[in-house]
Structure 1
Amino acid sequence: MAEAAWMTVQLFAVTLILGLIVASVLTWAGFSRSALLRGFARVYISIMRGTPLLVQLFVLYFGGPQLGLSLDAFTAGCICFGLNIGAYISVGMRGAILAVSPGQTEAARALGFGRAQTMRFFILPQAAPLILRSVGVNAVILLKSTALVSAIGVVELTAAGQRFANATYQPFEALGVAAVFYLALTYLVTGGVALLERRFGVEEGKPS
């Protein structure tokens, strides 16, 4: 079970990093002056949020070979979950940026700062605490969603629990241990996010 928990941690870490990259690109595209990029971001987010994650995983893993894309189960899980959670995180990022008063942008532009400089030095620092909270919520959801890769053969916590249950005929105990591991990992993630929130002075969803 400890080895399976480590597999879950690896899957979670790789997926979260990929998701943050995807979310940053989507957020940038969403605020782009190009109508094509904005449209792409909207369509992508709609598809990822509007279809079940398990279906997306099956399409990539089982349907990929038809398009010449053969991936091992772990890689398919990382890519699929990263592309999916990136859409959700980007929505939180966009909301956090829009929550910053438009007057901040107007003031920065009046001082001669360009569009990119305004975003970097004025908007993002104020939006960062809210972005952090959104990322934290989605990180917990992602951690629990990693259980879905058991459907394509990755031996993480859920798969290991099922194997022990089948071998011992004690599903309550075996899956109960898996649940305890998930609870411990979730506690670590939420604790880490809480530390970062205190670092940024987040209180009731607002920067202090």
Structure 2
Amino acid sequence: MAKRGDRGGAKTRAHIADVATALFVERGFEDVTIAEIAAAAGVSKVTVFSHFDRKEDLALDRLPDAVGVARAAVRERPDGVGVVDAVRRAALDLAERQHPLSGLSDDGDPLARTVMESPALISRLRVFEHEIEAELAEELEGDARFSGDSALFAALIVAVYRTVAVESVRRRLAGDALADVAAAHRRRLEDAFGALSAGFPG
């Protein structure tokens, strides 16, 4: 996760991440050093680490956005809308906008290929799954309208989304047409969240 504190931090953070991503795509994640990223971005190594806890987070800088999306879906859902349906709507919205978190972004293939080829980045993604589960479970735990098993719900929702998004990325990288991948992506989200809703009504 990014650290906070310096003025203009969001802009600096985005610039560093963009520079790092370009280097990772060009040369591979393992073959780029923090010192090289800092030099290319025109900042110090200290500045890099003031925004990113670890090198992997430079490549996966959009992941924290997923936490915000999940929390907002739960927190801002209308009365009478269950958690599963609220998250389903948010997931379908990401797909409709071809947001990078959906795996359907037109510009995401080079970075996705880099991630898939890096054991370190794949490992970081697995750790992040546990992090977002914990964040979502915490949100559910504090929601007065929710009375289910927070940890179980969070784990199932994250598993559903990860499975659909990863398959969509794999199909994109295999050369499948975006329209076909997007249609399958939406259909699998509907099927999976429908099954969750049936099993855990409300």
TM more than 0.5: no
Q: Which has the higher contact order (CA 8 A, sep 6+)?
A: 1
TM-score (norm 1): 0.34
TM-score (norm 2): 0.35
Bigger share in helix:
1
